[in-house]
Chains A and B, each alone.
Chain A
Amino acid sequence: MRRCRGGSREAFEIFVNKYMKDAYFIALGLVGNREDALDLSQEAFVRAYRNIKQVKPGRGFFPWFYQILKNLCISHLRKRKHRQAGSLDVEGCPEPAASADDFSPDAVADKDELKKEIWMAIDKLEPKHREVIVLRHFRNMSYEQIAEALFCNKGTVTSRLYYARKRLQELLSTEKGGGASGL
């Protein structure tokens, strides 16, 4: 980190190689399509490189980097939503979220219907709920790591996970008419 703060690109490359998969899959979970996820995750690394001196000594790189990535994804979703709505009402959408059509089915590894339904249900979650699902399920992060990345305590993480999963259950039950998935 000291060499990174000094502007060493070689040192920064080590961080990029270590976190590129996390960055890509988190972005994919938040914005829903592969091209945007690649573009946003790379842009987040560029911004991190330019602002690396802001990382306080003794603090980890990833939680700080995650804030950059998340903010970029939220800005991207907000712009996309405005483009779709054709509206300039910035204040009217404090919680931007992609619409169902934005989550590309190509992003899902298995092509069976249930997996696609889960993906579409994740798309419909509120951003703060989608975020914890992405970090927990797509990146297998522990509660402690999630809390560190979100700058909150573990209680908030468990609470958000509870409501996120509740909502996911509801959405999947609705999709399935409360039957086939057993939910």
Chain B
Amino acid sequence: MVCDDYKDLLMGYLDNELSAEQRRRFEEHLAGCSDCTAELEEFKKLKAITDEFSLAEPEDRIWQDYWGGVYNRIERGIGWIMFSVAGIALAIYCGFKAIEELIKDPGIEITLKIGLLALIAGLAILFVSILRERLYFWKRDRYKDVRM
């Protein structure tokens, strides 16, 4: 077992992250502690292996096209937002016009008018309910927040 107080220094020593003073203190400790010396040797072996390990570089075209991919997504996102806002605004406008025409049209029976209005109201309630539920779960998604 490594001495607990020297665990951090052991990692720093291994990764060459210690100040001259910390290094001297750790080396003094090492001189008298066979457990830490043995553990350091084990970590050195592991580091030698992991230092040789590398991930495969992707083809050059991935880097050449990278910004293009990001840019397209940004542009597409803006396009979708504009499309959605315009679509919702148009749907609401047309909906109101249709309801207005329906109410004003003397040729349609009152029962049919009530039925159609109830259908539209039901659809609107369902839409709002689903939207609210989505927002509720989105707010509770633990991984959506970006910690600052």
Contact = CB atoms under 8 A, between A and B. Distances in A.
Contacts of A115: 52-53
Interface of B is mostly: helix
A74 interface: yes
Contacts of B11: 158, 161-162, 165
B74 A49 contact: yes
A110 B53 CA distance: 8
Contacts, number: 122
Interface of A: 9, 13, 16-17, 20-21, 24-25, 28-29, 34, 38, 42-43, 45-47, 49-51, 54, 56, 64, 67-68, 71, 74-75, 78, 106-110, 114-115, 118-119, 133, 136-138, 142-143, 151, 155, 158-159, 161-162, 165, 168-169, 172, 181-183
Interface in B106-148: 141, 143-148
Interface residues of B, number: 39
Given A34-B58, A158-B8, A169-B42, A16 B70 contact: yes
Interface stretch (B29-37, B43-51, B86-94, B97-105): B43-51
A138 B15 CA distance: 14
